[in-house]
A and B are shown apart, each in its own frame.
Chain A
Amino acid sequence: MEKQAGAAGAAEAAGPNRKPWGLPSSGPNTGETPESPTGSHVEWCKQLIAATISSQISGSVPSDINRDSKARRRPDFMNLPALRYGAQVTMSQNQVPLLPGETVQTTVKDVMYICPFSGLVNGTLTITDYKLYFTSVERESPFILDVNLGVISRLETISVPNQGENTKGLELVCKDMRSPRFAYKTEESNPDVVELLAKHAFPLSHSLPLFAFLYKEQFPVDGWKVYDPTAEYRRQGLPNESWTFSKMNSSYELCDTYPSILVIPTNIAEDDIKRVAVFRAKHRIPVLSWIHPESQATIIRCSQPLVGPSDRRCKEDEHYLQIIMDANAQSHKLTIFDARQSSVAVTNKAKDGGFESESFYPNVELNFLEIPNIHVMRESLRKMKDVVYPTIDEAHWHSAIDQTHWLEYIRLLLSGAAKVADKLESGKSSVVVHCSDGWDRTAQLTSLAMLMLDSHYRTLRGFQVLVEKEWISFGHKFAARVGHGDENHANSERSPLFVQFIDCVWQMTRQFPAAFEFNELFLITVLDHLYSCLFGTFLYNSEQERAAKEVQTQTVSLWSYINSQVEDFTNPFYVDYEHHVLYPLVSSRHLELWTAYYARWNPRMRPQVPVHQTLKELLLLRGELQRRVDELQRDATSHSLTSSSEHSPAHSTPLHSAV
């Protein structure tokens, strides 16, 4: 009964019509008709509600609900809170909606959009420093294609047969699984489209600033305040007798890819820590990420030990892990999860890396999670693009998905994280997680395990904290993995690790549709702005770099945007599973391809009316009925002088009830 997906539908609702600065990337479908399917379903429900209520108020029989009239005049009280910040968008002369700080670079007429689904569309192409905006009035309803430049991975010229000699073809190969194509006439008078696009799509390669530094939107909520490391650690009950806040990295002198505030064991000398740092790759020492509120078992993250081919030892490192183990009185064991494939970990010894030897680290149990590296993941997603865009092979859809191995890797990650979580929860044992450098697979595993263990991270704000903490502050190299503003698309540093993490989160929301406060639109929005360069949140590789670039003062946080309109990103099914550890079922039987994200550019893959829409309407109806009941009750009480009977308003299920 539940096909909750609905993201594309919901995404449409948040398209330029409502929130012009909103999604950076609106599909070829967004602007076609003013009314999205979702929107219309909303209208339909509203009429139903309106009919119900108006009959209540007037006592008259409601007129026939006619779909044709579509409630152009909708009752005022039914207006959904929307369009709160829409006014800030200005229109350029060519009717291109512009964000504050955005400027038009050029406008080219007679451009053809080569739609893979419905053929050629003739129209006008506008290029700004943030987006590419194509409009066509050729058809009865206007056609709009809005692609933000940050999402472009590379620009390719393509051949365009049968369109005349001076026609050039251009393909925008995008990071988000689509590749829109255009054909345009080259004329002396026209500026070079490719050159302009390249300049603004890859500003860093052209010594230009990222658009986030030009964007001037004001939001009522400041997203940079979402994550305060000390507050987050305090929430976990830290510091305590075993763990303390360390200032050793306050100006990133111990480790330049770590945050300035670290939680480390209390009983350890600074000199020892410095020796441990030398023994760990990139100086990424073992630090606390999360502590179990009861057992005091901890999740520790770090990089690989620099064991090398000669099996080097570091007494301080061994002692350090012993202290971590001792900090948890419930267990006399420490479990190390090395995310890598064991064969790769062995090979790493030759490159001066390696793993902890169980003979040098007493009571330590080492497990390899056998997760392939970033290059394998990049290749897997590339294959996935072939499966979903532009055409899909209906007869072999399922086996084609199997062949990308994408879901197999999702399964490995989720099961790895479930092992970490279970070790803490059932085994009451502290866990050390690392891969090679401790900023890719480590971040995936620790953040997923924490999502399973701690219901706080399943709230909208809590999830933002989780991302800020485990990914952004601990130095996941977003700039390198995504390649913000960089034209070097073939750089082998690029890899969709964060996409993979969000996919895992989505899989969990599918299995526990009531356990997460955020919805699918939220996850898609986060991924869209991973690429868009509109917000500063995902820019740069480390906290140190971000501080140097003054990201917090010069750019806007993605969470400012999200938290200024939380209702759009809230899951109406949410029930707080406060004390529940939730383990996803790690089986292909319950893993799905996230088509609402990966295949959203294919108009044939659109889901139907999202279920949560119905719930939102019902919530409205309940609210209205409650209001009427209360009103009548007040009336009745004021009329009746017998005050003996007492009536409390009906108990209403709170929006977010607890389990």
Chain B
Amino acid sequence: MFSVKPMKPTFKSYLPPVQTDVKKTFEPPIKKLEPKLLQGEIVVNEVNFVRKCISAESSQDDLWGKLICTNFKVSFIPQDASSKQKSQLSHLLLGDHDIPLTCLEQVVTVNDTKGKKKVLGSNQKLKFNPTELILYCKDLRIIRFCFGEAGPEGAKKVCLAIAHYSHPADLQLLFGFEYQGRRYHESKGERVNGSTPREGLRTPIFDRPSDLDREIKRTGASEWRVCSVNEGFAISQSLPEFIVVPVSLADEDLKKYSVFFTDRRIPLWCWNHPNGSALVRMAVISEPLQQRRIDQKIFTAITKSHPQRSEVLRSDLDKCLPNIQDIQSGFVKVRQICVIDHFEESDERWFSSIENSRWLEYVRAFLKHSAEIVYQLDGKNASVILQEEEDRDLNCVVSSLVQLMLDPHYRSLVGFQSLVQKEWVMAGHRFLDRCNHLKKNDKEESPLFLLFLDCVSQMLSQYPAAFEFTESYLTVLSDSMWIPLFSTFLFNSSKQQAKHLMDFAKNKAIPHGEDQVVYFPPVWDWSQQFSPKDQTLFNNPMYVGKGAACVQNGEVKTFRRTKKAYSHTLRGMPASLRNGTKVGEDTLTRRGSLVSELRSDFSPVKDESPSERFFRDWFSRPADQQGLLIPLLVPSHLALWKLYFLRWVPEACIPKGGPITAYRKLSQLVDEIEILQNRLRQYKGRGPGNGPLPSPSGPLSDQRRMYFKASSPHDPPSPSDVLTSSFPFSPTGNLCRGGSHGTPISKFLNGARIWLSTETLNDTV
């Protein structure tokens, strides 16, 4: 119990011990520092003898090396290869010190001695020689370089190059187009006798009728059909080519009605409840005079598609949810508090600051509204139309959250990806504009997708066994938005995607008729970015879904929930309860409820609305991880998404702590269970007395699902020191806000005035 303590950590130092000088002398004084380049990547400019700042307090851990700007990324190659900065998650396309140009939010140059600083845009001039370069990144990193020993002209050139190349004039100039073109041709030989990437990709893309057909069958939406009226984008510029519509609406009707909708976006089917209710999304009807008539036609058609001919309810999201500017400004504020403001000062009134940012309030608003839609679909058995001006922003968030709550399929990894594909990518969320990849129009920028991921992370933390994926997965997915190599987050609509990719195919001599997914893959093929081992970090050991393994007849099979059981969870409650007419108080709220007001002490519960009753009833019963899930919306249960917002903040990183330590224990346990199941299967497969005894070893390590493996006596002791609350990310070298101590310029930079672009936006809203 009481023995020597080999570890000597202090709460100040989360960095590994400083390298000894002895080691350094063995290295040649100047190495040739070569960047790792991808196919088609070229070096634009570079400068040597640059110092990358690791810690704001002292420069002793700083790294010396070469700063390089390519047509894809900003890269830093340290002299000392045994870098202190090491991420647990190694990206296959990006090094620990690399930042894709698309990930840059702002490029700031500073001259320390002259007290000058300038935010650099495209094609700008710089009148001073920069001594420092600060890169503010969209994934919230802040990276600083000092040019003290570098040639002033070289430093200036690199800064200007970075600024210029991070503001591409045209979408086609994003590096993905160059990269995927080269990649297509260079890997063509390998594909001839293998399977195509499309076949390897389990996530449906929804760019073809068969994907939609499968979804119709899966949800039992027999009164809905795939319609190709928008093939070739004949009607709408932003709808996908194939959509699902009520069977009672003919193509001709749809064409007629389409002219009255914003951007001719006719209603789009999203999902069917087993009870027959449908979730539909649409834009507003732009011609007021026609509104009533068109509404009626649409409503009638949707009613006809409901087996019980239930009513159709409409939810106007523009009226009840924050708009995209609100969301952007909330994000800017929460980012300011988390990564830019002085750590200790912002700690003083932390909760109030978080409240003032309103980010969590928005997260809650979207979850709450989605839960209300769930009530209408599930509790009232009504079909719901989500309506929004353009049907391309808020509708994406709400429709996907509703489906996530109602349908366990979307809580599996592939299901979740198909949901994003269906409700975001194909439905025409303007990823290009909202991400502001071209940095052309700050007013269009808004982190809708991140808000959605935050909502998902809230549900994940409330129902940890209901999702096949982890918080790390959601964070990595958000980071992928800023890597321009995948088609998923680059376009505003499938039409824009089709057009650009057709031009691209022409330019790169890709044969006509070749599948887009093959020559410009989506993000969902994770092997593009991560090794199989690292991808296991996405697997949630607690998942009890149908993907979870169990053993049947000596075979490891996946646990399957029959349709009967599935619909039972949704339909199983007595009809009287569902209608909210049950008399008397059977239960008190036991697990929290969404009832928004507490009644005064003396009023018995009789004025409860049906929706309040629905939620109360749901919360009074145990949650079925594979059934309907409603998030708890009390403020205490919605917390800042720490992994996303605080992972780079060195002062906020808990060494040896954080949720990952529990995750590790669970992973090891699940791994051990899988080894045991495997051995059990081997024993069962072998009759008594014949054949050799199976070897006690488990499955090959690369086939194991868990990142942390069950320990064996031969393993070296696990490196628990790499486990921090930031895991699998590392704050080291990724967030350096202050300048060297006490210089006036550093104080200036600490202030709130850094995010000039977005600040301006706030003022105008």
Q: Do A and B bind each other?
A: yes
CB within 8 Å of B: which residues of A?
Answer: 1-4, 28-29, 32-33, 35-37, 39-41, 44-45, 48, 51-52, 55-56, 59-62, 64-68, 114-120, 139-141, 143, 161-162, 181, 235-237, 293-294, 390-392, 394-399, 401-402, 407, 418, 422, 425-426, 454-456, 511-515, 572-573, 575, 577-590, 592-593, 595, 599, 603-609, 611, 614-615, 618-619, 621-622, 625-626, 628-629, 632-633, 635-637, 639-640, 645, 647-653, 657, 659
Contact assessment for A45 and B352 in the assembled complex, using a CB-CB cutoff below 8 Å? no
Contact assessment for A1 and B8 in the assembled complex, using a CB-CB cutoff below 8 Å? no
Interface residue from B351, B565, B590, B625 paired with A33 (Cβ < 8 Å): B590
Contact assessment for B589 and A422 in the assembled complex, using a CB-CB cutoff below 8 Å? no
Say whether, besides A40-B622, A605-B636, A608-B632, A647 and B693 are in contact (CB < 8 Å).
yes
CA distance A613 to B544 in the complex (A): 12
Q: Which residue of B lies closest to A580 (CB)?
A: B7
Contact assessment for B587 and A52 in the assembled complex, using a CB-CB cutoff below 8 Å? no
Contact assessment for A118 and B605 in the assembled complex, using a CB-CB cutoff below 8 Å? yes
CA distance A37 to B619 in the complex (A): 9
The 7 closest A-B pairs by CB, nearest first: A40-B622, A588-B350, A2-B659, A583-B11, A397-B635, A119-B604, A398-B351
Contact assessment for A293 and B3 in the assembled complex, using a CB-CB cutoff below 8 Å? yes
**B568 part of interface (Cβ distance < 8 Å):** yes
Contact assessment for A425 and B604 in the assembled complex, using a CB-CB cutoff below 8 Å? no
Q: Which residues of A contact B603 (CB under 8 A)?
A: 119
10 contacts between A and B (CB under 8 A): A36-B590, A67-B624, A119-B604, A397-B635, A402-B349, A402-B352, A585-B657, A588-B350, A640-B689, A657-B711
CA distance A402 to B349 in the complex (A): 7
Interface residue from B593, B637, B686 paired with A603 (Cβ < 8 Å): B593
Q: Which residues of B contact A29 (CB under 8 A)?
A: 588-590
Say whether, besides A235-B2, A514-B662, A514-B664, A645 and B591 are in contact (CB < 8 Å).
no
CA distance A17 to B647 in the complex (A): 43
**B18 part of interface (Cβ distance < 8 Å):** no
B568 to chain A, nearest CB (A): 7
Q: Which residues of A contact B351 (CB under 8 A)?
A: 398-399, 401-402, 407, 588
Interface residue from A61, A140, A456 paired with B552 (Cβ < 8 Å): A61
Q: Which residues of B contact A615 (CB under 8 A)?
A: 665-666, 669
Contact assessment for B656 and A512 in the assembled complex, using a CB-CB cutoff below 8 Å? yes
**B623 part of interface (Cβ distance < 8 Å):** yes
CA distance A577 to B665 in the complex (A): 13
CA distance A573 to B723 in the complex (A): 15
Interface residue from B348, B360, B664, B666 paired with A618 (Cβ < 8 Å): B666
Contact assessment for A614 and B636 in the assembled complex, using a CB-CB cutoff below 8 Å? no
Q: Which residues of B contact A32 (CB under 8 A)?
A: 587-588, 590
Contact assessment for B602 and A161 in the assembled complex, using a CB-CB cutoff below 8 Å? yes
Contact assessment for B559 and A48 in the assembled complex, using a CB-CB cutoff below 8 Å? yes
Task: Give the interface SS of chain B, mostly helix, strand, loop or mixed.
Answer: loop
CA distance A650 to B670 in the complex (A): 14
Q: Which residues of A contact B720 (CB under 8 A)?
A: 577, 580, 659
B348 to chain A, nearest CB (A): 8
B469 to chain A, nearest CB (A): 9
Q: Which residues of B contact A604 (CB under 8 A)?
A: 589, 592-593, 595, 632, 634
Contact assessment for A636 and B683 in the assembled complex, using a CB-CB cutoff below 8 Å? yes
Contact assessment for A64 and B461 in the assembled complex, using a CB-CB cutoff below 8 Å? no
Q: Which residue of A lies closest to B542 (CB)?
A: A614
B569 to chain A, nearest CB (A): 7
Q: Which residues of B contact A60 (CB under 8 A)?
A: 553
Say whether, besides A608-B632, A636-B688, A65 and B642 are in contact (CB < 8 Å).
no
A629 to chain B, nearest CB (A): 5
- Apart from A422-B11, A618-B666, what are 18 other A-B pairs with CB-CB below 8 Å? A2-B663, A4-B659, A35-B622, A40-B621, A56-B551, A115-B588, A118-B589, A235-B1, A293-B5, A397-B636, A398-B354, A454-B2, A514-B664, A515-B656, A579-B3, A582-B657, A607-B462, A611-B542
Contact assessment for B550 and A595 in the assembled complex, using a CB-CB cutoff below 8 Å? no
Q: Which residue of A lies closest to B590 (CB)?
A: A29
CA distance A40 to B471 in the complex (A): 26
Q: Which residues of A contact B688 (CB under 8 A)?
A: 635-636, 639
Q: Which residues of B contact A390 (CB under 8 A)?
A: 598
Q: Which residues of B contact A618 (CB under 8 A)?
A: 666, 669-670, 673
Say whether, besides A609-B623, A647-B696, A294 and B4 are in contact (CB < 8 Å).
yes
Contact assessment for A619 and B669 in the assembled complex, using a CB-CB cutoff below 8 Å? yes
A233 to chain B, nearest CB (A): 11
CA distance A615 to B664 in the complex (A): 12
A396 to chain B, nearest CB (A): 7
B367 to chain A, nearest CB (A): 13
Contact assessment for B656 and A582 in the assembled complex, using a CB-CB cutoff below 8 Å? yes
CA distance A41 to B591 in the complex (A): 13
Contact assessment for B710 and A653 in the assembled complex, using a CB-CB cutoff below 8 Å? yes
Interface string of B455-471 (1 = CB under 8 A from A): 00000111111000011
**B601 part of interface (Cβ distance < 8 Å):** yes
**B60 part of interface (Cβ distance < 8 Å):** no
Among B249-257, B426-434, B674-682, the one that faces the other chain is B674-682
Q: Which residues of A contact B642 (CB under 8 A)?
A: 589-590
**B672 part of interface (Cβ distance < 8 Å):** yes
Interface residue from A402, A645, A659 paired with B693 (Cβ < 8 Å): A645
**B32 part of interface (Cβ distance < 8 Å):** no
CA distance A636 to B603 in the complex (A): 70
Q: Which residues of B contact A586 (CB under 8 A)?
A: 11
**B586 part of interface (Cβ distance < 8 Å):** yes
CA distance A397 to B654 in the complex (A): 26
Contact assessment for B347 and A587 in the assembled complex, using a CB-CB cutoff below 8 Å? yes
Q: Which residue of B lies closest to A614 (CB)?
A: B542
Q: Which residues of A contact B200 (CB under 8 A)?
A: none
Contact assessment for B5 and A611 in the assembled complex, using a CB-CB cutoff below 8 Å? no
Q: Which residues of A contact B463 (CB under 8 A)?
A: 608-609
Interface residue from A115, A422, A585 paired with B654 (Cβ < 8 Å): A585
Q: Which residues of B contact A294 (CB under 8 A)?
A: 4-5
CA distance A581 to B652 in the complex (A): 18
Contact assessment for A41 and B622 in the assembled complex, using a CB-CB cutoff below 8 Å? yes
**B764 part of interface (Cβ distance < 8 Å):** no
Count chain A CB atoms within 10 A of each CB in B352, B465, B603, B698 and give the residue with the most: B465
Q: Which residues of A contact B624 (CB under 8 A)?
A: 44, 67
A240 to chain B, nearest CB (A): 13
CA distance A635 to B684 in the complex (A): 11
Interface residue from B5, B552, B654, B689 paired with A511 (Cβ < 8 Å): B654
CA distance A65 to B548 in the complex (A): 14
Q: Which residues of B contact A396 (CB under 8 A)?
A: 355
**B639 part of interface (Cβ distance < 8 Å):** yes
Q: Which residues of A contact B347 (CB under 8 A)?
A: 587-589
Q: Which residues of A contact B5 (CB under 8 A)?
A: 293-294, 579-581
Which residues of B610-635 are within 8 A (CB) of A? 619-625, 632, 634-635
Interface residue from A45, A67, A115 paired with B569 (Cβ < 8 Å): A67
Which residues of B557-595 are within 8 A (CB) of A? 559, 561-562, 564-565, 568-569, 572, 584-593, 595
Q: Which residues of B contact A426 (CB under 8 A)?
A: 8, 10
CA distance A622 to B646 in the complex (A): 35
B659 to chain A, nearest CB (A): 4
**B658 part of interface (Cβ distance < 8 Å):** yes
Contact assessment for B693 and A640 in the assembled complex, using a CB-CB cutoff below 8 Å? yes
Say whether, besides A162-B602, A235-B2, A590-B654, A573 and B679 are in contact (CB < 8 Å).
no
Q: Which residues of B contact A653 (CB under 8 A)?
A: 668-669, 672, 710-711
Q: Which residues of A contact B668 (CB under 8 A)?
A: 653
Contact assessment for B587 and A55 in the assembled complex, using a CB-CB cutoff below 8 Å? no
Q: Which residue of B lies closest to A29 (CB)?
A: B590
Contact assessment for B350 and A589 in the assembled complex, using a CB-CB cutoff below 8 Å? yes
Contact assessment for B544 and A48 in the assembled complex, using a CB-CB cutoff below 8 Å? yes
Contact assessment for A3 and B2 in the assembled complex, using a CB-CB cutoff below 8 Å? no
Contact assessment for A589 and B652 in the assembled complex, using a CB-CB cutoff below 8 Å? yes
Contact assessment for A397 and B10 in the assembled complex, using a CB-CB cutoff below 8 Å? no
Q: Which residues of B contact A647 (CB under 8 A)?
A: 693, 696
Contact assessment for B552 and A62 in the assembled complex, using a CB-CB cutoff below 8 Å? yes
Contact assessment for A513 and B591 in the assembled complex, using a CB-CB cutoff below 8 Å? no
Q: Which residue of A lies closest to B718 (CB)?
A: A659
